[in-house]
Amino acid sequence: MIIKKAEFIISNTDISKCPTTSLPEYAFIGRSNVGKSSLINMLTDNKKLAKTSGRPGKTQLINHFLVNEDWYLVDLPGYGFAKASKESRFKWTKFIERYLRERENLLNTFVLIDSRLEPQKIDLEFMNWCGHNQIAFSMVFTKIDKLSSSALQKNIAQYKKEMLKTWEALPPVFLTSSESKFGREKVLNYIQEINEFYSKATLNS
Ligand code: GTP
Ligand code: MG
């Protein structure tokens, strides 16, 4: 897919103030600092679109970006950034939970996972939560430029094994690097496929 235009539309903490639209929408979620905002910038080829930072907790709001005047990318705050918390449960304010559960045009949620780490309880719990709430998601392993391909293969195999303990089938899995742009075409093509499917389904309904 060619990205002709990507523009910031609105930030808020309230689903009722998100753009009123039936255009397809894709959200990016995962632990703080995993690279959500960077991935949005990589996909849209615009380093300044979403704000990134080396310090966790940069993104605090629901941020809508309109791409090609045709679909939305949504940057969300990270979970697991509660310094004092001993619990591993994903923690966030209610507005994100509401957004994920109630946003009708949200077609897919990309769950970002740091490819350098062994399976993290917090990510597994979040994906289970998505399952319970019937929220369609895909897994995106980020920062693959930061480890060797053998370490990467090992981590991904371990992750898949862990997931298959609770899931009958795995969701789509993507490997990305916002530094090298690895994975850009695959993620964009996947979005395009869903967009096309959605527009046919809407036409027929
Ligand atoms: P919050 O908004 O705080 O939840 O974080 P985020 O998930 O949006 O992460 P962000 O995109 O701000 O990136 C966090 C840090 O990781 C920044 O210093 C990025 O430059 C770095 N980073 C993100 N993606 C990659 C990647 O693919 N490769 C490398 N080497 N660094 C990355
Ligand atoms: Mg961010």
**% the chain with pLDDT above 70:** 94
* Residue 113: closest CA among 95, 98, 126: 126
Residue 184 has pLDDT above 90, yes or no: yes
Q: Which residue among 41, 51, 52, 126 is best mutated to probe the pocket of ligand 1, counting the most ligand atoms within 8 A of its Cβ?
A: 52
Return the structure tokens found at 163: 């997931």
Ligand nearest to the CA of 78: 1
Residue 8 has pLDDT above 90, yes or no: yes
- What confidence score (pLDDT) does residue 201 get? 87
Q: Which atom of ligand 1 is nearest to the CA of 75?
A: 8
pLDDT band of residue 170 (cuts 50, 70, 90) is: very high
Domain 9-204 CATH (choose: 2.160.20.10, 3.40.50.300, 3.30.565.10, 3.90.110.10): 3.40.50.300
Q: What is the CA(204)–ligand 2 centre distance, in A?
A: 37
Cα within 13 Å of Cα(141), Cβ side: 26
Q: What's the mean pLDDT when you consider all of the chain?
A: 92
Distance CA(70)–CA(195), nearest Å, equals: 9
Is residue 107 within 8 Å of residue 194, measured between CB atoms? yes
Using CA atoms, how far residue 120 sits from 104, 111, 123, 127, 146, in Å, is 29, 13, 5, 11, 18
Ligand nearest to the CA of 40: 1
Q: What is the pLDDT of residues 20-40, one digit of tens each?
A: 999 999 999 999 999 999 999
Q: What is the CA(32)–ligand 1 centre distance, in A?
A: 9
Domains of the chain by residue range: 9-204
Q: Which residue among 32, 38, 90 is best mutated to probe the pocket of ligand 1, counting the most ligand atoms within 8 A of its Cβ?
A: 38
Q: Which atom of ligand 1 is nearest to the CA of 38?
A: 11
Q: Which atom of ligand 1 is nearest to the CA of 60?
A: 2
Q: What is the CA(13)–ligand 2 centre distance, in A?
A: 15
Is the CB of 80 inside a 6 Å radius of any atom of ligand 1?
Answer: no
Is the CB of 34 inside a 6 Å radius of any atom of ligand 1?
Answer: yes
